[in-house]
Chains A and B, each alone.
Chain A
């Protein structure tokens, strides 16, 4: 009986449940359950947060990492519209979609983390121009709106509202410039957030360069996310993998990783903190060294054409860069404070599940967007066709060029 029904489902939707389907289903169910608990019982019931550890996984991962990993949006649009680099055109839509979903999810995750989610609109009207957090919340709100307008043509195209699409496309360059400005501001300001606490943040992470560190690392993490997302689309949606473009992205990420590492060394020198690194029994030092290893290792792999040239290598590099980035954000927001607070924080199961829930929703939303909108160029079968016809000496069909956004 059950066998028959599964087969039926399979046939109908061409859908094969894999291990990942079950993981996703589990995450979505658990996430929904703990969301209910969070919004009916408060923060205390679901999290390990306390007066000593006011920020944990949700700020460190959902917000700081979410914003950083969505940085591909402004980087790629800048390359396409400001520097007019033609070959990135076809990855613009998936990248902007990723960024857009990323920012929406950051806003949703913020509602879980802040104690009074119903007051989330307050920063728009109750200003404190001296607060970095105020500046960040304003920038993130406006940038999410910019991303909405950037992505709108893709939706309107589908609804055949061609005049509106044409109008929006005329706005695209100023929009991209505003987007880059806003991103530069809030990506770096997330680092500025921690400048207020020189006596709390561990000296390995406290630095006047924090805004620059946050900005540079967000850019390389955004590029790595674009590569990662391409692989996910290739694996799950059978989209074509343009290894040449990914290679270019990774080389750019490599340049930024090198810059970042150099700045880290300069910073350690300025703080005279090198000797601190010998205290290998301290958690902070170990975490810091792991973080540095996750900068140097992908950098080294990027510099090896034999690794960077393979699909497996590319994927591995993107995962390593993302891991290093996530570790950095968690370290700055949690590890760096633990010595001061004197309490070891470890997220609870519900905290993990809600963070995973956000990622899960992201995957599902991406899937539906890809299904219903023209996110990817329809190249794969097309290109095959193209090659066949070329070989057969037939007349080539004209490739219709779609605008990047």
Chain B
């Protein structure tokens, strides 16, 4: 059973260059990625999104407090507000960049999906995710990484809304292109400036996220949405990685050179020694022999 669709074959963008380098970005404009806007001001905590998620993904219902292998989203009560927690579907996902086998991929459409047939289970994605989203099937013999896949296979790739966006009756979870969601969020803040804290979380954080938040109170109050700089995380490792080929070439040439010089010198020393030893021997043995003289010369 696989969780993700065939990677690289979402129909729109077959040629995917794991575009994390500063020069070869993903081919979709980040503003055109599909995302989710979570409006915590409108959320009533009815749990319809939670139930819809369980249903679409066929997950056993176990009312857990936090994300786990059977729970891709939770609704947390923070102060007076309800705040959903789920995969952020980053524009430049750390999980995608660290995966040694490209099992996690940012699709051209926007969702960050997972191919269990590639996964080796190193769990580097879990270590790298700044939001602590991916979870693991610890008790399985063929464990999978589990997180929200934005209903990619079953719904979004077929042009439908995610289960949660479909289920929300209050406009608290809205699916759309990032640019449209940002415009909508701006409008909501503008229309009700006294209700909203004037900030869209996820517009710029870590290079932007697919899941974005509106809140009545400053985001410092929401522990799982920390203050992040705008710099995408994959750049941090890429800055080192992309230098390695140059280092290999330079260090290789340098070492070959050193080996050559050192060995050449030792050879010369040996030759010299051999010569003198040979000459001495010849001299003491048969000093008058003309052939031997010639040889040593």
Contacts and interface: CB of A to CB of B under 8 A. Distances in A.
Nearest to A120: B120
B100 A128 contact: yes
A181 B251 contact: yes
Given A42-B138, A185-B244, A115 B143 contact: yes
B127 A198 contact: no
Nearest to B131: A199
Contact of B127 (A116, A128, A189, A200): A200
Given A122-B118, A177-B255, A197-B127, A49 B138 contact: yes
A240 interface: no
A211 B241 CA distance: 11
B15 to A, nearest CB: 15
A29 interface: no
Nearest to B226: A199
B240 interface: yes
Contacts of A51: 67-68, 126, 135-136, 138
Interface in A83-124: 83-84, 113-117, 119-120, 122-123
Contacts of B259: 81-82, 84, 173, 177
Binding site of A, secondary structure by majority: helix, strand, loop or mixed? helix
A123 B256 contact: no
Contacts of A81: 259
Interface string B108-138: 0000000000111111101110101001111
Contacts of A200: 127, 130
Interface residues on A, range: 35 or more
Contact of A54 (B127, B251, B266): B127
A352 interface: no
Given A55-B127, A123-B120, A185-B244, A177 B252 contact: yes
A283 interface: no
Interface stretch (A129-137, A289-297, A365-373, A386-394): A129-137
Given A54-B136, A180-B255, A197 B101 contact: no
Contacts of B127: 54-55, 196-197, 200, 337
Contact of B139 (A44, A126, A173, A185): A44
A231 B140 CA distance: 43
Nearest to B69: A51
A193 interface: yes
Contact of A122 (B120, B137, B255): B120
B266 A116 contact: no
A40 B142 CA distance: 11
B262 interface: yes
Nearest to B248: A181
A135 B102 contact: no
Contacts of B18: 128-130
A195 interface: yes
Interface in A338-396: 340-341
Given A116-B143, A130-B241, A196 B118 contact: no
A341 B66 CA distance: 13
Interface in B233-271: 233-234, 236-238, 240-241, 244, 247-248, 251-252, 255-256, 258-259, 262-263, 266
B241 A132 contact: yes
A358 B237 CA distance: 30
A50 interface: yes
Given A177-B255, A196-B236, A54 B123 contact: yes
A274 interface: no
B94 interface: yes
A184 interface: yes
Interface string A319-341: 00000000000000000010011
Contacts of A198: 233, 236
Contacts of B241: 129-130, 132, 135, 189, 192
Contacts of B136: 51, 54, 115
A43 interface: yes
Interface string B156-193: 00000000000000000000000000000000000000
Contact of A44 (B99, B138, B234, B263): B138
B212 to A, nearest CB: 19
A177 B238 CA distance: 25
A196 B101 contact: no
B228 A54 contact: no
Contacts of A337: 127
B19 to A, nearest CB: 9
Nearest to A196: B128
Pick the 3 closest A-B CB pairs, nearest first.
A115-B121, A44-B138, A134-B100
29 contacts: A40-B141, A41-B141, A42-B143, A49-B138, A50-B138, A51-B135, A54-B126, A54-B136, A82-B259, A115-B121, A115-B123, A119-B118, A122-B100, A122-B101, A126-B103, A128-B97, A130-B20, A131-B100, A133-B100, A133-B122, A134-B101, A137-B100, A173-B259, A177-B256, A184-B247, A185-B248, A196-B98, A197-B128, A211-B240
Interface of A: 40-45, 49-52, 54-55, 78, 81-84, 113-117, 119-120, 122-123, 126-137, 173, 177, 180-181, 184-185, 189, 192-193, 195-200, 211, 337, 340-341
Given A130-B21, A130-B97, 8 more contacts: A42-B141, A50-B138, A119-B101, A128-B100, A128-B101, A181-B248, A198-B236, A337-B127
